[in-house]
Amino acid sequence: MGRKPTDVWQGTLSLMVLKTLDTMGATHGYGIGRRIEQTSGERLTLNYGTLYPTLLKLEQEGYVKGEWGVSETNRKARFYSLTKAGKTRLEKAAREWDDTIAIVARFFTPEQSS
Amino acid sequence: MRPLRAWAIRVAGLLRGRRREEQFDAELASHVEMHVEENIRRGLTPEEARRQALIALGGAHLRDEYRDRGGVPLLESLAQDVRFAIRMLRKSPGFTATAIIVLSLGIGANGAVFSLINAALFKPLNGGMAGAELVGLYSGERTRPDRWRPFSYPEFVDLRDRTDVFAGLFAESHARLGVTEQGLTRRANATYVSSNYFQVLGASPAAGRFFTSDEERPGSGAAVVVVSDAYRRGVGAPADLVGRTVVINARPMTIVGVAPRQFRGTMAMGANEFWLPLGASSLFGTDEGMGLARITGDRASFNLMLSGTLEPGVSAEEAGARLAPLAAAFAAAYPQTNADQRLVVQRRSRINFGLPPPTDAEPTILGMVILAVAGLVLVVACLNLATLQLARGSVRRQEIAVRLALGGSRARIVRQLLVEGLLLSIGAGVIGLSIAWWTSDRIVSSRSLPIDVAPDGRVLALIAAACVVSALVFALGPALKLSKADLVTGMKQRGALPPARRRWASLQGVLVGGQVALSLALIAAAGVFARAGFIAASSDPGFRLEGGVLAEVDTTIAGLDEAGTRTAYARVLDRLRSLPDVGAASAASIVPFGNVRDARLVRAGDTSIVATFTVVGSDYFETLGLPLLAGREFTPVEEAQETEPVVVIDRTLAERLFSGRSALGEFVQLMGFDETPEGGPLRVVGVVPPVRNDMLSPGSAHVYVPYGRHFRAGMTFHVRTTPGREAAVMTRVQEAIESVDARLPLLALRPMTALRDGAPDLFALLLAATMFTAFGLIGAALSSAGIYGLRAYLVSQRTQELGVRFALGATRGGVVGQLLKEGAVTAACGIAAGLVLAVGLVQVLRQSGMLYDVDLVDPVAFAVAPLVLALTTTAASYLPARRALRIDPASALRPE
């Protein structure tokens, strides 16, 4: 399909954001970024800058909703939450990932004797 | 759906860009602060904390990416291009003004031509009501392919009912009837139609109803009428008209329905005001001169034209083939009327009506040719603009080079230049649309042509296409050229022009020279037409115009039959002849310089000559001021009653039919154009001098017959008085006519001099002169722009060469003189070619018969035209030459 490498990560980043919001509820941008790093076991060093365009896209598509609120340190921040459409999308994506992983795994497991 | 939602939000985001950016700045700021706080908690110093936070955030492109995603970047950069283009165009107002004028004239001319063609040939009639194609059914003869005739009512009924070829078939017959409103009578276009006419054409009444089959029956005498929506002239509602009375040919008729707003019938030029059922024709009189005949149920009475729509899937040829057995059956069943009949189905012409069956093929081709010529003019004008653009672009080379050096893409620069061009052409297109609409409207309204030239989708599409094409022609080439990266090195080349540019320059030179030639020819032709008009207006028609008074009457409008008409006219003439100040009075069926022509073939022996045919009263020639060359006038007895068949001919006929010998006492035979004789031989009793009945031709032969034997309901009374007394006499003439019979409608009353001045031929000459002048001036403007562009381009290319010259001591005047000389060569070639072309053009135009009296090389026109063009071309060459003076040798020589 000719997608650039960044597109692939962009796609997975969207999913990670959605999953994070599903788990944690309404969070601000910084919080989402920290959580993703933590979930990956600090294996991903996130370029926080890429988060915001992703969040904007998700917002435009209607999967997340953004609202201004106050953080735990009493700082004004924009909080994102998952919408119903986002939840549905997440579930669908999860299923797709499982299928993908299963198919790819078959290529890399030792040959079964036929 | 999701992507759609995202796009919609992005488009909306174009408008709230700034606010969004502010919000994002706030969000980023709070993000950074939170990260800094956490870093500090982890033990970093405040400075290190902040540094780490900013690194984690990413590079400068974050904002760009965010902004891009928030709006639609393509549209935003296009908006940027537009703003930049506007700025650049304002910086060179000369070029902008020239380009807009040239383009709007060119696009406007194309738009005007196409509006006329569209209205005549393509625009759906009746607001699109007649969806299916309209075809005409024609009755011809199998053995004689050029003989056609209309249908009779019984034939129509047979054809309408017995065939499955047509989805609908209706009958119509055109007539001109008199309408009396508030005491004044005027002629109006009317059509007799069968009861299914409106239904086949897909129209529903705007008010009231259409006709019933009872009313359609010939002889029913149904005094009902349907009026066109234009009849109410925008006053009140259509429903108000239903039930009202309108007086047609002195008969009160009831309005039963109003046609829908855009409905005008079956012709592109539709000024039809009234529709009447076929049965109404028995209410009115007949007049052979006006083409008024009664529609009857007689199988041999042929006066109906049939048209309709075909069943879906049936073509015109197929329909004709399917009707052949029916025609054969008719031929067998009705040998007197339908022997050898051939039924032909053909697509209806939108412009012509009648027999033989007309097609729109020729007008379409003519229209396309004219449009192609107009398009060519536009293309050449755009090429001129391209040259101008190149000249102007050389000034911007620096700016473009810098942009390229800074990493700008060539595509972006080309796009920006194209946007500039499109901006110009779209602006010009809007102006051009107004020009097109105004011009085509003026042309049709000046002749009161009832044709709707309002622009529709097609015209708009053409203008849009013209805008895009012209932008491509004049902006794309130069854009590609100017954005080449090696432009900078190209500039360094000294001395002569590189061959590619030389080729472009000479191509432009030829094109511009051609434009000059064409403009000169057009202006010369305009001058010739103007001269012709001048000569014609002051020419001698052969009879005395001064002191003549005319009064036009038509008794069919008053509802009088032949006996009543004769009585009335006899009494009118008595009264006129007894008026004081009146030397002589008579009547005639047609007048010189009039709209109506009537002609016959006159044969004596083996020679047949076409002659204008006029029915006249006694003393006609004395009234007109024509001296008798031999013989006598018609007598009062011959004016009033049918006596022995006599005729008066003019000298032209006498010489050509009876060369040498006296014509008196000889016999001639009148025939129609298909050589069927009308009546028996007529004895020549008088010979008169020839007259001109229009200003443009040398005059045809004339033949005159007395009123006693040849009846006409519409006659014009001629009265001779002393010059200067016309106004007083006109009043008395009007009183005399009214006193004889108040019902007699006076359709026109004027002195004879006014008749000549208002003649359609003079109008045609003036119209031609105006059009040619307009085209010529446009051409001159375009060619001047072209020369200017070419000279400017050449000067810009030779900046360094000129700089060297100046540095080496050449005088300003000397250089300018040399540049002017170079420009003069192109112009001189153009003018010379133009003179040759002008002679050819005038020769061709003479074939139209309009330029009879003018010399082939009219001295005035052929002197003025080259002068005009010499002036414009000199001015156009001078300005760039003057620019050359401003070349500073030092900066010109400095390597860029």
Look at the block and give the residue holding tokens 């924009």: A78
Measuring CA to CA, which residue among B523, B554, B575, B631 is closest to residue B865? B523
> Beta strand pairing status for B224-227 and B274-277?
antiparallel
Mean pLDDT of all residues in B455-459: 88
- Most confident region among B49-58, B107-116, B876-885 by mean pLDDT: B107-116
CA atoms within 13 A on the CB side of B525: 29
Confidence tier at A82 by pLDDT (50, 70, 90): very high
Q: What is the pLDDT of residue B896?
A: 47
Q: CB A52 to CB B34 under 8 A? A: no
Q: Is the pLDDT of residue B717 over 90?
A: yes
- Most confident region among B232-241, B409-418, B456-465 by mean pLDDT: B456-465
Give the one of A34, A50, A73 whose C-beta lies nearest to B58's C-beta.
A50
The answer to whether B694 and B526 have CB atoms below 8 angstroms apart is no
Q: CB B66 to CB A78 under 8 A? A: no
Q: Is the pLDDT of residue B63 over 80?
A: no
CA distance B480 to chain A (A): 30
Q: Is the pLDDT of residue A2 over 50?
A: no
Q: CB B66 to CB A52 under 8 A? A: yes
Q: Is the pLDDT of residue A8 over 60?
A: no
Confidence tier at B858 by pLDDT (50, 70, 90): confident
Measuring CA to CA, which residue among B327, B353, B335, B340 is closest to residue B165? B327
Q: CB B33 to CB A78 under 8 A? A: no
> Beta strand pairing status for A64-70 and A76-82?
antiparallel
Q: Which of residues 706-725 of B touch A (CB under 8 A)?
A: none
Q: What is the pLDDT of residue B292?
A: 63
- Is B17 part of the contact surface with chain A (CB cutoff 8 Å)? no
Sheet containing A64-70: give its strands across: A27-28, A76-82, A64-70
| H or E element, residue B488 | helix B487-491
Write out pLDDT tens, residues B579-588: 888 889 999 9
- Is B60 part of the contact surface with chain A (CB cutoff 8 Å)? no
CA distance A94 to chain B (A): 18
The answer to whether B435 and B111 have CB atoms below 8 angstroms apart is yes
> What is B782-847 written as a DSSP string?
HHHHHHHHHHHHHHHHTHHHHHHHHHTT--HHHHHHHHHHHHHHHHHHHHHHHHHHHHHHHHHHHT
Mean pLDDT of all residues in B318-333: 89
> Beta strand pairing status for B548-554 and B714-721?
antiparallel
More confident residue, B404 or A2: B404
CA dihedral B818, B821, B825, B827 (to 10 degrees): 130
- Is B16 part of the contact surface with chain A (CB cutoff 8 Å)? no
Mean pLDDT of all residues in B405-427: 86
Residue B480, SS3? helix
Report field, pTM of the whole predicted structure over 0.90: no
H-assigned helices in B235-360? 238-241, 316-333, 335-338
Indicate the average pLDDT of chain B: 82
Q: Is the pLDDT of residue B853 over 70?
A: no
| H or E element, residue B650 | strand B646-650
Tokens of B198: 């409106």
CA atoms within 13 A on the CB side of A110: 1
Angstrom distance (rounded) from CA B412 to CA B423: 16
Measuring CA to CA, which residue among B721, B650, B641 is closest to residue B684? B650
Measuring CA to CA, which residue among B363, B263, B309 is closest to residue B136? B309
The answer to whether B9 and B19 have CB atoms below 8 angstroms apart is no
Q: CB B5 to CB A47 under 8 A? A: no
Angstrom distance (rounded) from CA B725 to CA B730: 9
Q: What is the pLDDT of residue A114?
A: 47
- Is A92 part of the contact surface with chain B (CB cutoff 8 Å)? no
The separation between CA B358 and the C-alpha centre of its own chain, rounded to angstroms, equals 20
Write out pLDDT tens, residues A37-67: 888 777 777 778 788 888 888 888 889 999 9
Write out pLDDT tens, residues B534-543: 777 777 777 8
The answer to whether B881 and B795 have CB atoms below 8 angstroms apart is yes
B27, B35, B50, B65: best mutation site toward chain A, by most A Cβ within 10 Å? B27
CA distance A71 to chain B (A): 9
Which residues 6+ apart lie within 8 Å of B612 measured at CB?
B590, B597, B598, B599, B693, B700, B701, B702, B703
Q: What percent of chain B has pLDDT over 70?
A: 91
Amino acid at B300: A
Look at the block and give the residue holding tokens 């992703």: A54
Give the one of A48, A52, A78 whose C-beta lies nearest to B56's C-beta.
A48
The separation between CA B654 and the C-alpha centre of its own chain, rounded to angstroms, equals 42
Write out pLDDT tens, residues B5-14: 888 888 887 7
Mean pLDDT of all residues in B778-801: 77
Confidence tier at B395 by pLDDT (50, 70, 90): low
| Burial class of B804 by CB neighbour count within 10 A (0 to 12, 13 to 18, 19+) | middle
Amino acid at B339: A
- Is A49 part of the contact surface with chain B (CB cutoff 8 Å)? yes
The answer to whether A75 and B85 have CB atoms below 8 angstroms apart is no
Residue B881, SS3? helix
Which residues 6+ apart lie within 8 Å of B242 measured at CB?
B207, B208, B255, B256, B257, B258
- Most confident region among B198-207, B262-271, B378-387, B737-746 by mean pLDDT: B198-207
More confident residue, B674 or B346: B346
CA distance B132 to chain A (A): 48
Q: Is the pLDDT of residue B495 over 50?
A: no
- Is A57 part of the contact surface with chain B (CB cutoff 8 Å)? yes
Angstrom distance (rounded) from CA B506 to CA B825: 12
Mean pLDDT of all residues in B508-527: 80
Amino acid at B508: Q
The answer to whether B608 and B674 have CB atoms below 8 angstroms apart is no
Interface contacts A/B by beta carbons within 8 Å: 72
Q: What is the pLDDT of residue B78?
A: 86
Phi then psi for B515, rounded to 5 degrees?
-60, -40
The answer to whether B689 and B714 have CB atoms below 8 angstroms apart is no
Q: CB B28 to CB A52 under 8 A? A: yes
Q: CB A48 to CB B57 under 8 A? A: yes
- Is A87 part of the contact surface with chain B (CB cutoff 8 Å)? no
Angstrom distance (rounded) from CA B621 to CA B584: 9
- Is A71 part of the contact surface with chain B (CB cutoff 8 Å)? yes
- Is A77 part of the contact surface with chain B (CB cutoff 8 Å)? yes
Q: Is the pLDDT of residue B814 over 90?
A: no
Mean pLDDT of all residues in B295-315: 86
Give the one of B26, B34, B58 whose C-beta lies nearest to A30's C-beta.
B34
Please tell me what DSSP assigns to residue B498.
P
Q: What is the pLDDT of residue A112?
A: 56
Q: Is the pLDDT of residue B170 over 90?
A: yes
Angstrom distance (rounded) from CA B866 to CA B831: 6
Write out pLDDT tens, residues B181-232: 776 677 888 899 999 999 888 888 888 999 998 899 888 888 889 888 878 7
Residue B67's closest chain A neighbor by CA? A53
Tokens of B880: 């760039």
Angstrom distance (rounded) from CA B688 to CA B651: 6
Tokens of B829: 């070639």
CA distance B409 to chain A (A): 21
Residue B134, SS3? strand
Confidence tier at B698 by pLDDT (50, 70, 90): low
| H or E element, residue B94 | helix B93-117
| H or E element, residue B212 | none
Angstrom distance (rounded) from CA A64 to CA A16: 13
Write out pLDDT tens, residues B869-888: 888 888 888 887 777 777 77
Angstrom distance (rounded) from CA B236 to CA B661: 69
Please tell me what DSSP assigns to residue B521.
H
Q: What is the pLDDT of residue B428?
A: 93
Mean pLDDT of all residues in B381-389: 80
Angstrom distance (rounded) from CA B296 to CA B219: 6
Q: What is the pLDDT of residue B860?
A: 80
Tokens of B221: 């005498």
CA dihedral B751, B755, B756, B762 (to 10 degrees): 150
CB atoms within 10 A of CB B179: 20
Give the one of B6, B38, B61 whose C-beta lies nearest to A57's C-beta.
B6
Sign of the Cα torsion A3, A6, A7, A9 reads positive
| H or E element, residue B294 | none
- Most confident region among B259-273, B316-330, B534-548, B797-811 by mean pLDDT: B316-330
Q: What percent of chain B has pLDDT over 90?
A: 15
Q: Is the pLDDT of residue A74 over 50?
A: yes
- Most confident region among B45-54, B456-465, B833-842, B883-892 by mean pLDDT: B456-465
